[in-house]
Structure 1
Amino acid sequence: MISHKQRTRYSRQIMLPQVGEAGQEKLSAARVLVIGMGGLGCPAALYLASAGVGELHLVDADTIELSNLQRQVLYKTNHLKKSKAQVAAQQLQAANPEIRIVPHQCMADSAWLHEHLPGFDLVLDCTDNMQTRYAINSACRELRVPVIMASVQGFSGQLVSFDFREPGSPCYACVFPDTGEEPAGNCETIGVIGPALGMVGSAQALEALKLIVGLPLGSLNTLQLLEAEFLEWRSLALGEERCEACRQRQHACHG
């Protein structure tokens, strides 16, 4: 049962028939892990906190640099050299004191994920490191935790989600096989426009809220592609190809 204060704070989304009080109760009970508190994680986590997601865990090993401030909207000039996870937690707690926010100043490697991931309802992958992304993908697949993944370079963004509670779900490696190598370019070498990160990070938060309250996701097993230079979104349905791990998982479920 939500309180009168919660009913007032979240009134504009509670009045939506797709959410209602039942949906708000689901949001209040949800535990969400946001990995990467950069240009995607900042807007995504801010919208999740503002919407009343009951428990947010923020993972990032980095400290705030001057070059981050062009796009990482939770941080200010007086935050330079401080922990991204710690500062983001403080900023979000100030935005919504009624929820629980836990910072983790560390890398989300495979060992950390397998230790901490059980018990979460959802993961948002907001990282810009491919090997971390594959570790997140693998851990979520093994532990059957849904994940919403996004990336942006230049003016171009990608968004896709996988619900590993479903035995037939594909995974990120089905679409982008792990070659063991990082891509040639990233934000540091190619550059990125800040509002495109805001658009994709907001879309991640939207998909997260929809998943928690039980609404269909437009990014589920579908690659959503943003070309911010032309303000265009397009969808690409994933094919039937499966990586070896997903083939084995499907075989085990049908065996």
Structure 2
Amino acid sequence: SPVAMYLAVAGVGSLVLADYDEVDLSNLQRQIIHTRDHIGCPKTESARDMLQQLNPDCDVQLIAAQMDDATLEETVKHCDLVIDCTDNFGSRFAINRASVRHKTPLVSGSAIRWEGQVSVFNDRLGAPCYHCLYGDSGELDSSCSANGILAPVAGIIGSLQATEAIKLITGAGETLSGKLLLVDALEMQLRTLTLKADPHCPVCGNHA
């Protein structure tokens, strides 16, 4: 929610929103793009309505169905940038594969409980991809519904993702490519880790 809103008001000309879910009351505390009036509506349509109020010149395209690999590949191929705001490893790995295959920069963000992390992948030759970071792990249910999340943490991570996206689009500053920014809101601490590419990664490695 905050990613789409900040990019729209920043002047991004076209956004593709992909979500097959409907707005639920439990979403409203962290998905601030939706309102009570849109409970029961497709999230993509609710989000589009809000974005058009913020910036009517932003072209908002919707994918309101669960994406298979073919649809994901076709969508990523035609985008300049991918921003992953999903809450499960299966989707993140699939998005990473498509981004690597089409050499589309990926801004990844996740948040759970009081913590979150942000990184940028695939925008530099020899840089690590998401799979380099996690390998084949990620079987644990790390979704917000299973573990909970403090609402402002989602806002912090979304704002950081939007910032990295704008930097990639404009070429300003240094991105988080090859780095992992860790946010601990409970202690209000930030840490940055350096990531290395896995030469044996099945997605981006030498033999991929």
User: Above 0.5 in TM-score?
Assistant: yes
2:91 to 127, 132, 135: 132
2:169 to 212, 227, 245: 212
Q: Does 1:184 align with 2:141?
A: yes
Q: CA RMSD in A?
A: 1.5
1:236 maps to: 193
In 2, the alpha carbon distance for the partners of 1:213 and 1:249 equals: 32
SS in 1 for 2:186: coil
User: Does the CA-based 8 Å contact 1:75-1:88 persist in structure 2?
Assistant: yes
TM-score, normalisation: structure 1: 0.77
Greater displacement, 238-247 / 46-55: 238-247
Stretches (4+) displaced over 6 A? none
2:57 maps to: 98
1:157 to 99, 112, 116: 116
In 1, the alpha carbon distance for the partners of 2:203 and 2:17 equals: 28
Return the index of the structure with the highest Cα Rg: 1
Q: Does 1:201 align with 2:150?
A: no
Gaps of 5+ in 1: 1-41, 251-255
User: Does the CA-based 8 Å contact 1:118-1:143 persist in structure 2?
Assistant: yes
Gaps of 5+ in 2: none
Displacement, 1:240? 4.5
Map 1:43-58 → 2, pairs under 5 A: 43-58=2-17
Greater displacement, 127-136 / 182-191: 182-191
Structure holding more helix per residue: 1
In 1, the alpha carbon distance for the partners of 2:67 and 2:153 equals: 25
1:173 to 119, 131, 146: 131
Displacement, 1:170? 1.4
2:72 maps to: 113
In 2, the alpha carbon distance for the partners of 1:74 and 1:185 equals: 23
In 2, the alpha carbon distance for the partners of 1:208 and 1:193 equals: 23
Q: Does 1:85 align with 2:85?
A: no
Displacement, 1:203? 0.4
For 1:196, the aligned partner's letter is V
Percent of aligned pairs with the same amino acid: 38
